[in-house]
Chain A
Amino acid sequence: MLYNYLLQLGDNALILGHRLGEWCGHAPELEIDMALTNIALDLTGQARSLYQHAAEIEGKGRTEDDIAYLRDAWEFKNVLLAEQPNGDFAHTIARQFFYDTFNFFLHRELVGSRDEWLAGFAAKSLKEITYHLRFSSEWVLRLGDGTDTSHEKMQAAVEELWMYTGELKIPSKTDQEMAANGVGPDLNLLKASFDEKVADVLQKANLQMPSTTWMQGGGKDGVHSEHLGFILADMQYLQRAYPGQEW
């Protein structure tokens, strides 16, 4: 089960990192380009550590790359939020802000995990995630409280992506089991911190809390949006077209 949990964490990082990598060379200014790439690097690095450890505890001789490149969509456990397209910069920021907020509280709890490896990993990652959250919340403020145009775009992005935030906080079977063993936190307990942080930043940014109440889900159980198939087709192309090669 720990194996599945590591994959669930790793898949979120891998897929969101992949999306952020799509900005590289195309961001609104060079400083933002570098910051987004930085987050992509952190997340991809986190995915790599998680997959390496997962492969190790699985003990079947698989590698980090087998896990990333040779599974199909239904085996990916990332939340739907992570795979949503970049959209305009406001969408990217909204997606990032929701994800970072959740990820921050999650890793703050994982630091106290009963699993020693995971606790160490979380302590290291928390530093990176703290920076990510600062970056994304600062941009929510700038866009929400910037110009009329940016305000409108930021509000629209928050509204559109809100329906993907429910899944973050609803425990999957794996989450439940990890919580029962003291390896991971009880996600129900993170919900309040998440909601409070989001409400606080949105309010400071002059943004309305989204009105949608219906939440999409399925990613953690391997039922994804149509976007994931294309991400994997792109990402896995060389490994699939030329199996078993060194790169």
Chain B
Amino acid sequence: MTELNFEKHFQDKVDAEIKIEPKDWMPDAYRKTLIRQISQHAHSEVVGMLPEGNWISRAPSLRRKLILLAKIQDEAGHGLYLYSAAETLGISREELVEQLLSGKAKYSSIFNYPTLTWADIGAIGWLVDGAAIMNQVMLTRASYGPYARAMVRICKEESFHQRQGYEIMLTLAKGSAAQQHMAQDALNRWWWPSLMMFGPKDDDSAHSQQSMKWKIKRKSNDELRQQFVDVTVQQAEVLGLAIPDPDLKWNEERGHYDFGEINWDEFWNVVKGNGPCNKQRLDARIKAHEDGAWVREAAMAYAEKKEQRKLMESAKAEAA
């Protein structure tokens, strides 16, 4: 087959909803897009552990502490599945981590915002995980098999994450004046960055169209963002909290909520590294990696020694 035929055969499979598997032929650009997207997703899980980890030691009850620990542990697990899914495309975890630490690879900008009060842990579960689920449910149908399957596992756990976040918000919203203040303040700070999580507007999104043709994505950034707003506005009403957007209004004709203009300058600024915690997040990952180098080296050296000893012993046994 010529290159052109390969490409047609590939697109036919995608169109027929047949999953692409690691050993199948795929266009180079498809492979590159997937590596970029899956690794970005993996890095987001791992960096995302930091803002929540900030509150483990201060979780206000034993039950909350256990839930928070379990949730962050899930995120480490998600990072692992996703690194494995990326590795099926012919790149190693070490290379991917290197790209994160050197600043070459991106992760979700939302994690560059600080967690200032306990309510932020609620807001992250409710809004950030809520937004992530919109995207991830779509990705369970992605054309690349290992990615889609990783997403199925991840989605199951994410819905628990979102519920626990909403439950924290509900408890605070029903609580004392100070607790209500924390809840509203967290919503004020996390609302717009959560809307930004869906990425640039469709017209400005560099990769969107091609990704839709390859069925990596099935809904556009703006469609997913609208879906998120529609669901979340109603949840905020139940909480009795006010969404910080004066332009938010139900549009009877469209059957959706209209909402105000996102501050895209802020979005690009955080992407470029100028968010409130970009430096701290990356520094924390670099420190963990560097401080841990001798541990990883020791584990390797020990495994090699063990292997050597086994070989020696079986050689001795043979000689005897």
Give A residues with C-beta under 8 Å from B: 14, 18, 21-22, 24-34, 37-38, 40-41, 44-45, 47-48, 51, 64-65, 68-69, 88-89, 141-143, 145-147, 149-150, 153, 231, 234-235, 237-239, 242, 245-247
Please encode chain B, from 144 to 181, with 1 for each CB lying within 8 Å of some chain A CB and 0 for all others. 00000000000000000000000010011011101100
Does B91 interact with chain A (Cβ within 8 Å)? no
Q: Cβ of B72 and Cβ of A24 under 8 Å apart? A: yes
Q: Cβ of B69 and Cβ of A24 under 8 Å apart? A: yes
Set of chain B residues within 8 Å of A26, measured between Cβ atoms: 53, 284, 287-288, 291
A238 to chain B, nearest CB (A): 4
Give B residues with C-beta under 8 Å from A: 46, 49-50, 53, 56-58, 60-66, 69-70, 72-73, 76-77, 79-80, 83, 118, 168, 171-172, 174-176, 178-179, 284, 287-288, 291-302, 305
A30 to chain B, nearest CB (A): 5
Set of chain B residues within 8 Å of A149, measured between Cβ atoms: 294, 297-298
Q: Cβ of B66 and Cβ of A44 under 8 Å apart? A: yes
B55 to chain A, nearest CB (A): 9
Q: Among B60, B76, B83, B300, which residue has its beta carbon within 8 angstroms of that of A239? A: B60
Q: Among A22, A24, A25, A238, which residue has its beta carbon within 8 angstroms of that of B60? A: A238
A184 to chain B, nearest CB (A): 23
Q: Cβ of B73 and Cβ of A38 under 8 Å apart? A: yes
B175 to chain A, nearest CB (A): 6
Q: Cβ of A27 and Cβ of B288 under 8 Å apart? A: yes
B98 to chain A, nearest CB (A): 14
A18 to B287, CA, bound (A): 21
Q: Cβ of B62 and Cβ of A150 under 8 Å apart? A: no
Set of chain B residues within 8 Å of A147, measured between Cβ atoms: 294, 297-298, 301
Report if A24-B73 is in contact (Cβ < 8 Å); known contacts: A145-B302, A245-B175.
Answer: yes
Set of chain B residues within 8 Å of A14, measured between Cβ atoms: 62
Set of chain A residues within 8 Å of B65, measured between Cβ atoms: 21, 44
Q: Cβ of A33 and Cβ of B76 under 8 Å apart? A: yes
A7 to chain B, nearest CB (A): 14
* Closest residue on chain A to residue B52 by CB atoms: A25
A245 to B175, CA, bound (A): 7
A110 to chain B, nearest CB (A): 21
Report if A235-B57 is in contact (Cβ < 8 Å); known contacts: A34-B73, A142-B302.
Answer: yes
A142 to B293, CA, bound (A): 14
Q: Cβ of B61 and Cβ of A245 under 8 Å apart? A: no
Q: Cβ of B288 and Cβ of A142 under 8 Å apart? A: no
Interface hub of A142, A153, A239 (most chain B Cβ within 10 A): A142
B45 to chain A, nearest CB (A): 9
Set of chain A residues within 8 Å of B168, measured between Cβ atoms: 247
Q: Cβ of B56 and Cβ of A145 under 8 Å apart? A: no
A245 to B50, CA, bound (A): 27
Given A25-B53, A37-B73, 13 new contacts (CB under 8 A): A14-B62, A21-B56, A24-B56, A28-B292, A38-B73, A41-B69, A44-B69, A141-B302, A145-B305, A150-B294, A153-B294, A247-B64, A247-B171
Interface hub of B60, B63, B79 (most chain A Cβ within 10 A): B60
Q: Cβ of B118 and Cβ of A31 under 8 Å apart? A: no
B180 to chain A, nearest CB (A): 11
Report if A28-B291 is in contact (Cβ < 8 Å); known contacts: A142-B298, A147-B301, A235-B57.
Answer: yes
* Closest residue on chain B to residue A45 by CB atoms: B66
A91 to B111, CA, bound (A): 30
Can you report 7 residue pairs joining A to B where beta carbons are below 8 Å apart?
Answer: A14-B62, A25-B76, A30-B46, A33-B76, A44-B65, A239-B61, A247-B64
Set of chain B residues within 8 Å of A69, measured between Cβ atoms: 60-61
Q: Cβ of B76 and Cβ of A48 under 8 Å apart? A: no
